[in-house]
Amino acid sequence: MSTLVDYSVDDGIAVIFINNPPVNALSQPVRQAIKEATMAAGGDDGVTAIVIACAGRTFSAGADIREFDAPVKDPSLPILNDFIEACAKPVVAALHGTTLGGGLELAMSCHYRVALKSTRVGLPEVHLGLIPGAGGTQRLPRLIGAAAAIEAITTGRHIPANEAMDLGVLDEVVEDDVLQAAVRAAHRLVGDGVISRTGDRDVDLETLQDGVFSKAKAKLSKRRRGFDAPQAAVDAIEWASTVPFSQGLLKERECSNTLKASLQSKAQRHLFFAERLALKIPDIPKDTPLLDVATTGVVGAGTMGAGIAICLLNADLPVVLVESKQDALDRGLERIRKTLDRDVDRGRLDSETRDVRLARLTGAIGLEALGTVDFVVEAAFESMEVKKKIFTELGSICKSTAILATNTSTLNINDIAAVTCSPDRVIGTHFFSPANVMKLLEVVRGDKTAKTFVATTLKLGRRIGKTPALSGVGYGFIGNRMLEDYVRESQMMLLEGASPAQVDSALEAWGMAMGPCAVMDLAGQDVSFLTRDQNRELLPNDPLYCVPGDIMNAEGRFGQKTGKGFYQYPDGRTRQNDPDAIDLINAAATKLSVKKRVTITDQEILDRCLCALINRGAQLLDDGIALRASDIDVVWSAGYGFPAYRGGPMFYADSVGLDVIVQSFETFAKEFGNDYGYWTPAPLLVNLAKSSKTFAEYDADQKGSA
Quote the CA–CA distance of 575 and 578 in Å, as a whole number. 9
pLDDT digits (tens, 9 = 90+) for 184-215: 999 999 999 989 999 999 999 887 888 999 99
pLDDT digits (tens, 9 = 90+) for 291-333: 999 999 999 999 999 999 999 999 999 999 999 999 999 999 9
Percent of the chain predicted with pLDDT > 70: 99
The candidate with the shortest Cα–Cα distance to 407, out of 392, 429, 391, is: 429
Q: Are 79 and 106 in contact (CB under 8 A)?
A: no
CA gap 94, 55 in Å, rounded: 11
Torsional sign, CA 451, 453, 456, 461: negative
Q: How far apart are CA 39 and CA 423, in angstroms?
A: 63
Confirm whether 125 is a catalytic residue.
yes
Distances (CA, A) of 670 to 16, 377, 486, 678: 68, 47, 20, 12
Residue 70 has pLDDT above 90, yes or no: no
* HEC profile of 6-21: EEEEECCEEEEEECCC
Sheet of 426-431, strands arranged across:
361-365, 319-323, 296-299, 375-378, 403-406, 426-431, 440-445, 467-471
Q: Are 497 and 643 in contact (CB under 8 A)?
A: no
Classified as helix, coil or strand, 438 is coil
Residues 383 and 405: their CA atoms lie apart, in Å, by: 15
Does the active-site annotation cover 254? no
pLDDT at 607 over 70: yes
Please give the single-letter amino acid code of residue 138: Q
Output b/e per residue, 456-495; b: 16+ Cβ within 10 A: bbbebbeebebbbbbbbbbbbbbbbbbbbbbbbbbbbbbb
Give the Cα separation of 628 and 685 in Å (integer). Answer: 14
Provide CB contacts within 8 A for 151, sequence distance 6+.
none
Q: What is the per-residue pLDDT for 704? A: 58
Nearest in space to 201 (alpha carbons), one of 130, 144, 153, 148: 144
State how far the Cα of 379 lies from the Cα of 435, in Å rounded to an integer: 11
Q: What share of the chain is helix, strand, coil (3-state, %, to 5)?
A: 50, 10, 35
Order of strands, sheet of 91-95, starting from the edge strand that comes earlier in the sequence:
5-10, 13-18, 49-54, 91-95, 112-116, 172-174
Backbone angles phi, psi at 6, to 5 degrees: -95, 145
Q: Measured between alpha carbons, how far is 362 from 202 in angstroms, rounded to an integer?
A: 56
Estimate to the nearest angstrom the gap between the alpha carbon of 216 and the chain centroid.
23
Rounded CA gap, 508 and 521, in Å? Answer: 15
Cα separation values, 40 from 1, 47, 59, 80, 322, Å = 10, 9, 22, 14, 65
Q: Which amino acid is it at 697?
A: E
CA 102/CA 108 separation, integer angstroms: 10
Q: How far apart are CA 115 and CA 119, in angstroms?
A: 6
- Classify 97 in phi/psi space as left (phi over 0), alpha (psi -120 to 50) or beta: left
Instruction: Read off the pTM.
Output: 0.94
Q: With 70 as the cut, is the pLDDT of residue 2 above it? A: no
Is the pLDDT score of 110 beyond 90?
yes
- pLDDT at 668 > cutoff 80: yes
Query: Is the confidence at residue 706, as pLDDT, over 90?
Result: no
Distance of CA 501 to the CA centre of its chain: 28
Q: What share of the chain has pLDDT > 90, as a percent?
A: 94
Helix/strand/coil for 116 = strand
User: Helices (DSSP H) in 405-541: which residue ranges?
Assistant: 413-417, 451-463, 479-496, 500-510, 516-523, 525-534
* Banded model confidence at residue 66, pLDDT cuts 50, 70, 90: confident
Confidence of residue 3 (pLDDT cuts 50, 70, 90): confident
pLDDT in tens, 264-292: 999 999 999 999 999 999 999 999 999 99
The residue among 271, 113, 122 whose CA lies nearest residue 186 is 113
Nearest CA-CA partner of 607 in 544, 689, 671: 671
Q: What are the Cα distances from residue 307, in Å, to 302, 525, 527?
A: 8, 21, 18
Look up residue 116 and give its amino acid: L
Q: In whole angstroms, how large is the CA radius of gyration of the chain?
A: 28
Closest listed residue to residue 381, CA positions, set 299, 458, 457, 444: 299
Mean pLDDT of 55-63: 95
H/E stretch holding 159 = strand 159-160
Contact 146, 237 (CB under 8 A): yes
The Cα–Cα gap between 28 and 4 comes to 11
- Angle at alpha carbon of residue 222, lines to 219 and 224, rounded to 5°: 95
Catalytic position from the list 125, 275, 323, 442 = 125
Q: Note whether 616 and 629 are within 8 A (CB).
A: no
- Kindly tell me if the per-residue pLDDT of 4 is higher than 60: yes
Q: Which of 85, 105, 275, 382 is catalytic?
A: 105
Strand intervals (E) in 595-680:
none
* Among candidate residues 582, 618, 664, the one with its CA nearest the CA of residue 485: 618
DSSP 3-state of 614: helix
- pLDDT tens, position by position, 419-460: 999 999 999 999 998 999 999 999 999 999 999 999 999 999
Q: How large is the average pLDDT for residues 210-226?
A: 94
> How many other CB atoms sit within 10 Å of the CB of residue 91?
27
Look at residue 198 in the predicted model and tell me its pLDDT.
96
pLDDT at 534: 87
Helix, coil or strand: residue 99: strand
Q: How confident is the model at residue 569 (pLDDT cuts 50, 70, 90)?
A: very high
CA-CA-CA-CA torsion sign (510, 511, 513, 516): negative
Instruction: Give the single-character DSSP code of 5.
Output: E
pLDDT at 1 over 70: no
Q: Is the pLDDT of residue 122 over 90?
A: yes
3-state secondary structure labels for all residues of 270-313:
HHHHHHHHCCCCCCCCCCCCCCCCCCEEEECCCHHHHHHHHHHH
Distance between CA atoms of residues 18 and 96, nearest Å? 13
Query: Can you give the pLDDT at residue 94?
Result: 98
Q: Strands 112-116 and 98-100: what pairing?
A: unpaired
Structural domains of the chain ordered from first start: 5-261 (3.90.226.10), 296-471 (3.40.50.720), 479-701 (1.10.1040.50)
Helix (H) or strand (E) holding 576: strand 576-577
In this prediction, residues 517-546 reach a mean pLDDT of 94
CA distance 307 to 435: 5
Per residue in 6-33, pLDDT (tens digit) is 999 999 999 999 999 999 999 999 999 9
CA–CA separation, 478 and 480 (whole Å): 6
b/e code 640-671 from CB counts within 10 Å (16+ = b): bbbbbbbbbbbbbbbeeebeebbebbeebeee
